[in-house]
Amino acid sequence: MPKFRNYSTFKEASRDEISPALQGIEAFLNCRTIRIGSYRYTPKEKVHISVKGIKIVAPSLKNESKDVAIQIQFKEIVKILVHFGKGLPVIFLYTMNKCGIFIRKALDMVEESGLYYNPTSDEDPYKRITLLPEVITDETKAALKTLFHKAIDELNVKEANEILVRTCPKESNNVSKLTTKSMSASISSGPKSSNPAEIRQILIYPPGKGGIPINTEDYMCLAQDQFLNDVIIDFYLKYLVHDILTHIQREKTHIFSTFFYKRLTTKPSKVNRNSNPHEWDSSLTPAQKRHARVKTWTKNVNIFEKDFIVVPINENCHWFVAIICYASLDGCRSMIDNRTVTPQENKKKERRSSMQIGSTTITPLTKQEQLTLNCDSDNLSERDEAEAEDSDLDMQCDSDEEETEKQPEKKPEIPLIKKNDPIKQPCILIFDSLAGASRSRVVATLRDYLTCEYQAKISKSKIFNKDNMKGSCPKIPQQNNFTDCGLYLLQYVEQFFKDPVSDYTLPIKQLANWFDEIVVTRKREEISKLLKTLMHKYNPDSHLHLPDIKFPTLNGVLVETEEQQEDGADADNKGSTSLKIQKCDLKDADGPIIYVKQTSTGEMLVKRNFVDTSDTIHARKRMIRLTSDSENRSVMQIKPKV
């Protein structure tokens, strides 16, 4: 990576106003979200990029109604990292320290508030400015490369995701303070409410003891580009158990809270002999100390009577899930008749030939190791997890499809399973929407937990290890943006029971196309509707109006941005105009709606396909305007768009 540029002689007095130019290179970015350090907000104005620098407008932290124009001078920009992908464009700005001082003063930032920007900080969330544009057009891309050709570097999607995850503040599962305040302003609890911005409880689900309280702040995490918090994750997992799973599935499944793994792997901050005597007991192993922290979590359940144990995990603001399968089984069983079988193991060819140079041995990296990105967050080092080697976990990648060689055949005492017979076996499956990072320590920690829990529940000794409890990361659908990891976790669990794994022969290969991306994208809107339904069911007399938040879909159909709409119109204009268009009325027979957009006035714009008389060419897409009732989304009138 090129070195940062150094402009130590830059003077504050030279700060120029960045305004639209009559000539010269410039660009404007419509951003969904901007983070200035750990301060995250939804911008009202476009970011202006020119030969003078970059202008960003942000609300003051002291007075949110006051907008502040942040003029970042060209010479203050020492590095720009950018990913131009259409699915998830992102720009990371690194500035000089003097610019950081200027921004903190302009926005009234104080470090104690947690909303802070400091380019020289050792804390990842503080040291960069992050722009999440709706789209980066070819013109904007060219402008960035021309203006900042000495300071700009391109990132691939994995690198961009990795940096963005590290950019999140440690407590960023919740909406930022200012975002919460501004969004809560739309909350109304009826005419009797004395404080409309107050965070209000929506419902407790399920009602009664052990239910999860959900409030309006939790609800706002469902908005586009927001990370789901632990409350929404726990709520939906509990909803799956109570309302979606069959009775048999419910009886054979245990889902831990999102706090379980954190509690298992976190040493108490203030250890004392009275409240945490096990932490001081030198006779206990690290695994036993970890188990002691959560031993009461299963006082009313025997997890070894369950086929599936679901463990949601949050690591450095990234959600993924581990599912422990068939922990009570000894060995492999046939899915067909449950007989004990021995699967034919395939041993991969050794491709990592080492070479000796003097006293140094050099071993080539595998493709998977080359893809793995290091994360130096302090959060990871604070975890009390079991030691592990990457070989303890099957990391499925493209090389898994390569030719393998079979082990020498031996006459087994137990019949070998037929080649195509499906099996079930004890294993820990890791479902991660950002594949690449090693989860071997997670698997080793869960094996240790099972060992201690088995002793506590069954009163017998059984060591769970990589031989009798294998670990694997199946190849599964991956997220294509920076904030949907929680949604993918929920979909993985839901799909696991909706479309179960049919064969537990490792590596599991049938899940690469488990579900379509749109299934996850529409989940924010679906959970919102679910909460409203449950709120009216359990609190029919409630007059609480939930915040008006933006979703990526409308009635399950993807909403396109203004930029995407303009790009589509440009593409249509470039097509042939000589085609004869079939005339027809605006009826259902015109074809399905292929695009939906809700305007600020509550109208919906849709496109239908009109075909020529040959029925072979989808010619143009005519736009019609549907005026809809903003509450019920019902179509009231159809008229051609002028």
User: Active-site residue numbers?
Assistant: 318, 432, 485
- Cα dist. 212→202, 240, 519 in Å? 11, 14, 25
- By C-alpha distance, which of 52, 315, 300 is closest to 173? 315
Burial bucket for residue 3 (CB in 10 Å: 0-12, 13-18, 19+): exposed
Cα(426)–Cα(430) distance, integer angstroms: 13
- By C-alpha distance, which of 372, 329, 308, 324 is closest to 162? 372
Cα(353)–Cα(359) distance, integer angstroms: 16
Angle between helices 230-239 and 485-498 (to 10 degrees): 10
Taking the CA of residue 315 as centre, how many other CA atoms within 13 Å lie in the half-sphere pointing to its CB? Answer: 26
How far separated are the first and last CA of the chain, in Å rounded? Answer: 51
Tokens encoding 558: 């993807």
> Which residues are 381's β-sheet partners?
none
Cα(528)–Cα(538) distance, integer angstroms: 16
DSSP class of 587: S
Taking the CA of residue 440 as centre, how many other CA atoms within 13 Å lie in the half-sphere pointing to its CB? Answer: 14
Torsion over CA: 421, 426, 427, 431 (sign): positive
What's the order of all strands across the beta sheet hosting 618-628?
595-598, 604-611, 618-628, 635-640
Cα(641)–Cα(130) distance, integer angstroms: 37
Question: Residue 254: phi, psi to the nearest 5?
Answer: -130, 130
Cα(635)–Cα(245) distance, integer angstroms: 35
- Range list of H helices, 27-176: 97-107, 138-147, 157-167
Question: Residue 341: phi, psi to the nearest 5?
Answer: -135, 160
